Structure 1
Amino acid sequence: MPDRIVVKIGSSSLTSEEGGLNKERIGYFARELAFQHAEGHAVMLVTSGAVAAGFRRIGYVSRPKLVHEKQAAAAVGQALLMQAYQEELSKYGIVAAQILLTRADFSNRRRIQNALMTIEELLKQRIIPIINENDTVATDELVLKFGDNDNLSALVAALTKASKLVIITDMDGLYTEDPRINPEAVKIGRVEQISDDILKLAGGAGSSVGTGGMRSKIEAARVAMRGGVGAFIGKVTNEGDLAAAVNGVGSGTYFDTKLHSLSMKKQWLGFHSLPQGRIAVDDGAAHALLAGGKSLLPAGVVNSTGDFHPGDVVEVVDRHGGTLGRGVVNYAAWQLQAAAGLGSEEVARRVEVTRIEVIHRDEWISLK
């Protein structure tokens, strides 16, 4: 049965260490994508490489560090990148479409709905959407930038309700230690839950032409899994490797999930919204939210920070600061400070609120 597949390719797979596009590699990936397309799958590509492709052409001797220099290199490199993909995919009768997104697009529910409608129409017309971050307008501020295209690929996979996310890297999966240092390191074939121990196994640094390391890829897999999408992280270097990755026998690590895909509303709340405050809760409230399917009541609130208002999104954390999830709050910050720790009847006497629940369970998503 045809599936929806999101493939993420990083800068290091497309360019040389010195910068500039490797046309042979792009040709290889185009063949792999074309095979999946011919199998009837709906293929989406999330690609890095604009900055790496453009900085040499613009005259920089090495990958730029300053934001405006990166943006200038991306402006040149994005055109080169799309031209290369278009030329190679056209050999198989495939049309490619460019989609540039920013974090702000995902944060705005109307804009991301429009982006989804565009992607849906392209897939209907058997066109491969090629998606990249719009580096020429994005900033390095955390709230506005994806950080790397690993995260973007996970968000796209969840948004489009893909069946699989394939993140291509130069490592053949996740190991108990760095196999380049310790030859006794053992590869982890399948992961069903991304725990803190799993995250600790991942290093942080990427290559000199990219931004993402293994940790960012695992964090992307966690976002995909939470959105009901299974993920693969590993090598795709030889003929047929992408098909093997899609079919469950690839050279890498598979991240399985039993969760169902999320509604657009839940995706926006969990992955795209910008929290306006933080609420810390006690152990009982944390259990009720995560395991009991309950709403958050004022009695379970320990404290709160931020200047939020009814209808804003807030992050909920446990006593130790660990993130539990996000929800739409029914209280203003000052109201919650007055109501924290009190029973519902006492709150009703002291504070005038529309709903007694701080966060109703229908306006909540767990991120644990």
Structure 2
Amino acid sequence: MQYKRIVVKVGSALVSPDGQGCSGKHVLAIAGFISACHQREIEVILVSSGSVAAGRSHIAHGSNNPSIAAKQAMAAVGQMQMMANWQRFFDFSCSQLLITHGDLKDRKRYLNIKNTVRVLLENRALPIINENDTVATQELKVGDNDNLAALVAMVVDADALLILSDVDGVFDKDPRKFGDAKLIPVIDEITQEIYDLAGGTSNHLATGGMATKIQAADKACQQGIDTYIVNGTMPYGFEQLLKNENPGTHFIAKGNNLTAKKQWLKNTLKSAGAVHVDKGAVNALQQSGASLLPIGVKGLTGDFAKGAAIDIIYLDGALPKVIGKGICQYSSADLARIQGKGSQHIEDILGYCPSQEVIHRDDFVLSKKA
């Protein structure tokens, strides 16, 4: 694969084919694909459905259409089993992150998720993300793990999103009703006509169908993230992916996600303040693509919160020059206390250390050289 960081979304039908607990029937091949990606230095973030199905047999419900409360209880039991099921197929560490849309909308929690995933990847651990179904009633009701995967792909700056299910991809008509239905291998633009091709789901435990997958692809592609819908029950599909071949439906991203992010940061976010840096920091940012560390900060202006966009200014004599803009990991109050200090002293000064960097290189865009 030509991608460096991918999000792999796995549907309930793959984790629990019979809806009565976890199974390795399909997960084994998926785990093999993820391991192969690791061997190729491709970073993987896994978004896994299936906790409700995994816990189904442990919660009395008396219905093929369980109540929200019953599904939440199933998720609470099933999440443990689902994680154990994934971990048994890997010889590297797995990690669990349970999040909701509220976490992604809150700027501080958004940054915390981003930073946690970043550190996990740096330590070659596999982040396994699922919606917190035990508390997210509305999200659980409407079914959103496909869209959640798209949002996660944006948070972690992924190059591609792979949506694995028990269907081959998008067809020109419903393959369950028409024997002559043909798979659409490439979709350049997601139009209303494409949405109209989506049907519902026949799985009473699943929370999404083709419609949510197309919605997810739409979100991701608009942010420059290539998206694939692939049949996860067919192991040869993973071999094709590793050979840069398309085994399902490929939604073409609109532009480059790095360019899209840099443009968003540069042109959309308004700066809430600024930091003044020394020549060493300027060289590191411009020439080495490094992050901005507190030791390189010599002053700051403005009153800003953690997660705010700020300008990076170099004082060349008496003439200030803006060399770039980035998302700050610290509030102005905390930054004032650690400026000019080594990163190893942050915890001693503040009592905690959410990040070694003031601005991580992934959250920084250059303007012009000083």
Bin the TM-score by the shorter chain: 0.5 to 0.7
8 A contact 1:146–1:152 mirrored in 2: no
Offset, 1:239:
3.5
Please say if residues 232 and 245 of structure 1, whose CA atoms lie closer than 8 Å, have aligned partners that are also in contact. Answer: no
Structure 1 residue 14 and structure 2 residue 10: aligned? no
1:230-309 correspondence to structure 2 within 5 Å: 230-245=226-241, 247-261=243-257, 262-263=260-261
Give the C-alpha shift of residue 122 in structure 1: 0.4
The question of whether the paired residues in 2 share the 8 Å contact of 1:17 and 1:208 is answered with no
Q: Which residue in 1 is equivalent to 2:35?
A: 34
What is aligned with 1:351?
Answer: none
Change in Cα spacing, 1:146 to 1:3, as seen in structure 2 (3 Å) is farther
The number of residue pairs the alignment matches comes to 263
SS in 2 for 1:56: helix
Aligned match of 2:127: 129
Query: Aligned letter for 2:149?
Result: S
Q: Is the 8 A contact 2:147 2:213 kept in 1?
A: yes
Q: Secondary structure at the match of 2:82?
A: helix
Judged with a 3 Å threshold, the aligned counterparts in structure 2 of structure 1 residues 137 and 265 are, in CA distance, closer, same or farther, namely farther
CA distance in 2, matches of 1:236, 1:264: 33
State the alpha-carbon separation in 1 of the partners of residues 160 and 19 from structure 2: 32
In 2, Cα distance between equivalents of 1:248 and 1:42? 16
SS in 2 for 1:22: coil
Mapped to 2, the partners of 1:240 and 1:32 lie a distance apart of: 10
Contact kept? 1:105, 1:111, Cα under 8 Å = yes
Q: CA deviation at 1:98?
A: 0.4
How far apart are 1:16 and its partner, in Å? 3.0
What CA distance in whole angstroms lies between the structure 2 residues aligned with 1:264 and 1:128?
A: 27
**Which residue of the partner structure matches residue 104 of structure 2?**
106
What per-residue deviation string (whole Å, max 9, x for no partner) do you get for residues 3-48 of structure 1? 1011110001111334211133322322221111111110111000
- SS of 2:25's equivalent in the other structure is helix
Q: TM-score, normalised by structure 2?
A: 0.66
Identity %: 37
* Aligned position for 1:66: 67
Q: Deviations over 1:107-160 (max 9, x none)?
A: 1011011100000000111111000000011112x6x97732100111111211
Aligned alpha-carbon RMSD (Å): 2.3
Residue 88 of structure 1 is matched in structure 2 by 89
Matches for 1:146-157 after TM superposition, within 5 Å: 147-157=143-153
Secondary structure of 2:14 counterpart: helix
CA contact (8 A) 2:45 2:126 kept: yes
Cα distance in 1 for residues equivalent to 2:142 and 2:233: 26
- In 1, Cα distance between equivalents of 2:209 and 2:77: 25
Partner SS, residue 89 of structure 2: helix
Corresponding position of 1:163: 159
**Whole-Å Cα distance in 1 between the matches of residues 113 and 262 of structure 2?**
12
**TM-score computed with the length of structure 1 as normaliser:** 0.67
1:31, 1:52 → 2: CA distance? 23
